[in-house]
Amino acid sequence: MRRLAVVLVAAAATLVVAAPPARAGSAGYCPDARGVTVVVDYGALGGGTVVRCAPGNQPTGLAALENAGFTVTGTVRWGKGFVCRIDGKPGVDAEPCVDTPPASAYWSYWHAPNGGSWTYSSLGVRNRKPPAGSFEGWSFATGSSASAARPPGVAPKRPETAKPAPSRSSARPQPPRPAGERSTGPAVATPPAAPRTTGPTSAPPPTRPPAAAPVPSTTAAATAGGTPSMVDVAAPSAPGGGTPWPALLGLGLAAALGGAALLTARRRRADPGTG
Amino acid sequence: MPVPGLLRPWGTVVAAVALAAAVAPPAAAAPSRPDAGRAAAAWLATQLDGGHLTNFGVPDWGLTADAYFALAATGADPAATARVRAELAAHVRSYTTYDDWGFPGVRIAGATAKLLAVAASGDADPADFGGVDLRAETLELVDGTGRVRDRIPAELGGDQSNTFAQSFAVLGLARSGGVPQPVVDFLVDQQCAAGGFRLMPDASPTCDGQAGATLDTDSTAMAVQALLAAADAGADGARAAAEKGAAWLADRQDAGGGFGGSGPTSGLNTNSAGLAGQALAAAGYDEAADRAAAWVAGLQRTAAPDAGAIAYDPAGFAAGTIDDVSRDQWRRATAQALLALAGVPFGEIGATPPPTAGPTTPPSPAASPTASAAPTTGVAAPGGGGGLPITGAPAAVLAGVAAALVGGGAVLVVAGRRRRAP
């Protein structure tokens, strides 16, 4: 019984990006310097940028990512020493996660102090201990033969507690607004028009294996704008109604709630006897 | 053998190394800090889990191969060197294929070529390394353009071969009987007019054909050394390209002696400085190589615990002691950084006498019996023209002689050395 419930909840959790109860961590920025804020920018994978908090001390980047509530899939060769999927992305059809993913499509790993700027990590996900109050960033890098990794499309800065977030953003992990609404900041995630295979048009640090970027590495337009106000999910990767992300999210949320309810119910029933 | 340009007399150096190796591990003739290098390698040996290094519990064969080069270049711990080599030989398929995970038929070019370079840098037999003919398998992965490519189905990730794989192929083939000229030419094509090499060859056939190609320190350092080995084996155009690459590297050196990589690794780091310093030593830039070695040595721990370990960068060094989280980075950094301290080029690591039948053995053109996909033209083999022999026996002969070597070591060592010296 219990096993079934766990499976159900696990299944629900993978459907959801901002699942409330079943997930570790909390949605949005860490409220203070006692946690590590984790920013995941799905880029061309779709799904916008998600900000979550791993509360308390985090021994490694991997721990922070998981304790913030993200599901991590490693590779067959390296296990979770190499982050291959975050919350199931990219999917198995696009990336088998057997060996190290190619430089043309992989999760790039960044870090930043609060209020600082993103730095590409020279350390692996298990090699780095994020300082308390700092930011960990994950940005899916895509490119043709050799891509240009760009930092996550959210500035690494905790919002001032006194200052309310500007207009549209929601600090709560609620189902977002109807499809079509994007974050208020300047284009944050993927450049809308860029086809998937050519990768981002702006290229701050090139790829992890230092690579020849076919992309003219002009300015970091995508990240130059101030602090985008998105908190949990924002910026659908396609302009207009590309992905009905918010709708999916709502569905996922419902599924998660349902799963949790189921779990609770079954647990109650199972509690007395079964182990 | 006179060497044009800035390159130092190669044959003399090889001979000197070989002679020194008769009583001791290969001493570097180039500027170096052998004591610091040995200390680093000795520390690395303490990090071995049996005969290999791990990445958070997972055997890391690529890193283990780096450790082999590090140990062999310094001669710090012959027993550990032999142990690591035996471990690599026992796990060839774990590294070069996906067999361990139930995906048959995969071949990884970089892993195959790197192991060939390991097998060709010591007493091992490149044609029978743990039962695998690495020379033949490397040649099998050469495509019609001279490039070594992975054989990985698209659904498992596809070909991801790069310039590092090509360099190891050139190096390993040159040291195991000769390298087909197209394999050398493809590597040279990855060099831009400025002299640096790019890491990723996919964007265009040649580096100059790619607008804004990123030139990479580490790739250039590897290519320079591979091409020097190829030049010694008689390949055309290799030495000129190596000299141009070395000049580019020298220009990239920081005032303090260090090197950065490219892109995300562009900060000064000992990985890049280790390879670049080694390449500069190989190309005769003694003063620049010495400054690189000095910069690396400045990031080496000299006190217990972990004396000898080399940090990745000044920040890592400043962090002080090594904990469980940071240890992996120190291992990776040390294995490559100490190459600058040792000052022994890849083409000379483990330059004990090659397993060969004798001075009259002819060079072997296209030694691979199964190289259907391999170019069959213009194999640059050692021993011809003016090139000093690096190795030079047909694979079949190598196999037999290797067995003899294992048994009767010392006599053959001396004999082989006589052959090596001019």
Q: What is the mean pLDDT of residues B49-65?
A: 96
CB A63 within 8 A of CB A176: no
In which domain, by residue range, is A96 found?
A: 23-239
- Could you give the percent of chain A with pLDDT greater than 70? 48
Residue carrying structure tokens 């304790």:
A67
A256 found inside a domain: no
Give the distance from residue B69's alpha carbon to the nearest chain A alpha carbon, in angstroms. Answer: 21
Q: Which residue does chain B place closest to A122, by CA atoms?
A: B265
CA B222 to chain A, closest CA, distance in angstroms equals: 14
ipTM over 0.90: no
- φ, ψ of residue B396 to 5 degrees: the values are -65, -40
The distance from CA B315 to its chain's CA centroid, rounded to whole angstroms, is 28
Kindly tell me if the per-residue pLDDT of A110 is higher than 80.
yes
Q: Give pLDDT tens digits for B186-199.
A: 999 999 999 999 99
Q: What is the pLDDT of residue B263?
A: 80
Closest by CA to B80, choosing from B119, B50, B107, B60, is B50
B153: pLDDT strictly greater than 60: yes
Cα–Cα distance measured from residue A38 to residue A102, given in angstroms and rounded to the nearest whole number:
23
Considering only residues B136 and A237, tell me which one the structure prediction assigns the higher pLDDT: B136
Helix (H) or strand (E) holding A221: helix A221-224
Q: Is residue A268 included in any domain, yes or no?
A: no
Residue B40, amino acid:
A
Residues in A closer than 8 angstroms to B267, CB to CB, are 122
Give the pLDDT confidence score for residue B379 in this predicted structure: 52
- Parallel, antiparallel, or unpaired for β B179-180 and A85-86? unpaired
Q: How close, in Å, is residue A31 to chain B by CA atoms?
A: 26
Q: Do A210 and B155 touch (CB under 8 A)?
A: no
Tokens describing residue B105: 């038929």
* Each residue's pLDDT tens digit, B396-407: 333 433 444 444
From chain A, pick out residues whose CB is under 8 angstroms from the CB of B200: 103, 145-146, 209, 211-212
User: What are the respective helix, strand and coil percentages of chain B, to the nearest 5?
Assistant: 50, 5, 45
Q: Say yes or no to pLDDT of B204 above 90.
A: yes
Residues of B at the A interface, defined by Cβ within 8 angstroms? 55-58, 98, 101, 103, 108, 155-158, 160, 162, 198-200, 202-203, 207, 210-219, 261-267, 269, 312-313, 325-326, 328-329
Total number of domains in chain A: 1
The alpha-carbon gap from B46 to the nearest alpha carbon of chain A, in Å, equals 19
Is pLDDT of A9 > 90? no
Residue A262 covered by a domain: no
Q: Work out how many CB contacts closer than 8 A connect A with B.
A: 127
Per-residue model confidence (pLDDT) at position B218: 97
- Residue B119 pLDDT grade (very low, low, confident, very high; cuts 50, 70, 90): very high
User: What chain B residue is nearest to A206 in terms of C-alpha separation?
Assistant: B263
**Per-residue pLDDT reduced to its tens digit, B73-94:** 999 999 999 999 999 999 999 9
* pLDDT over 50 at A75, yes or no: yes
List chain A residues with CB under 8 Å of B213.
212
What mean pLDDT comes out for the span B375-380?
Answer: 42
Of residues A206 and B337, the one with the higher pLDDT is: B337
A8 inside domain: no
pLDDT at A21: 53
- Give the pLDDT confidence score for residue B400 in this predicted structure: 39
Among B277, B283, B315, B322, smallest CA distance to B299 is for B315
Query: Which of A122, A149, A212 faces B200 most closely, judged by CB atoms?
Result: A212
pLDDT of residue B352: 47
What pLDDT is attached to residue A145? Answer: 40
Q: Is B232 exposed, middle or buried (0-12, 13-18, 19+ CB in 10 A)?
A: buried
Q: Please, is A248 exposed, middle or buried when counting C-beta atoms within 10 Å of its C-beta (0-12, 13-18, 19+)?
A: middle
Does A197 fall in a domain?
yes
User: Which residues, at least 6 apart from B261, have a Cβ–Cβ distance to it below 8 Å?
Assistant: A210, B216, B217, B218, B267, B269, B271, B272
> Inter-chain contact A122–B325, Cβ cutoff 8 Å?
no
pLDDT, averaged across chain A: 64
A30 phi, psi to nearest 5 deg: -65, 140
CB contact at 8 A, A257 and A20: yes
Strands (E), A113-187: 119-120, 135-142
Residue A26: beta bridge partners?
A53
Phi-psi region of A87 (alpha: psi -120 to 50; beta: other; left: phi over 0): left
Amino acid in position B158: G
Diameter over CA atoms, chain A = 65
Asked if pLDDT for residue B56 goes beyond 50, the answer is yes
CA distance A111 to A131: 10
What domains sit in chain B, N to C, each tagged with a CATH number? 10-245+353-420 (1.50.10)
CATH number for position A213: 2.170.130.30
Q: Is the pLDDT of residue A176 over 90?
A: no
The backbone torsions φ and ψ at residue A188, rounded to the nearest 5 degrees and listed phi first, read -105, -50
Q: Which of B28-42, B145-159, B241-255, B393-407 has the weakest average pLDDT?
A: B393-407
Beta-bridge mates of residue B132? B129
Assess if residue A271 is contained within a domain: no
A217 chain-B contacts, CB cut-off 8 A: 212
A102 pLDDT more than 90:
no
Contact B55 A78 (CB under 8 A): yes
Tokens linked to A231: 């908190």
Residue type, B201: P
CA proximity to B215, closest of B263, B254, B170: B263
- Asked whether residue A213 is domain-assigned, the answer is yes
Contact B198 A81 (CB under 8 A): no
What residues contact residue B162 under an 8 Å CB cut-off, 6+ apart?
A: A209, B110, B199, B200, B201, B219
B331 Cα to chain A: minimum distance (Å): 11
pLDDT class for A22, splitting at 50, 70, 90?
low
pLDDT at B118 over 70: yes
pLDDT mean over A1-9: 43
- Say yes or no to pLDDT of A263 above 70: no
Cβ–Cβ < 8 Å for B45, B376: no
Residue B32: what pLDDT? Answer: 65
Least CA distance to A77: which residue of chain B? B58
Q: How far is A123 from chain B (nearest CA, A)?
A: 7
Question: How far is B369 from B137, CA to CA, in rounded Å?
Answer: 10
Comparing A80-84, A268-272, B128-132, B334-338, the range with the smallest average pLDDT is A268-272
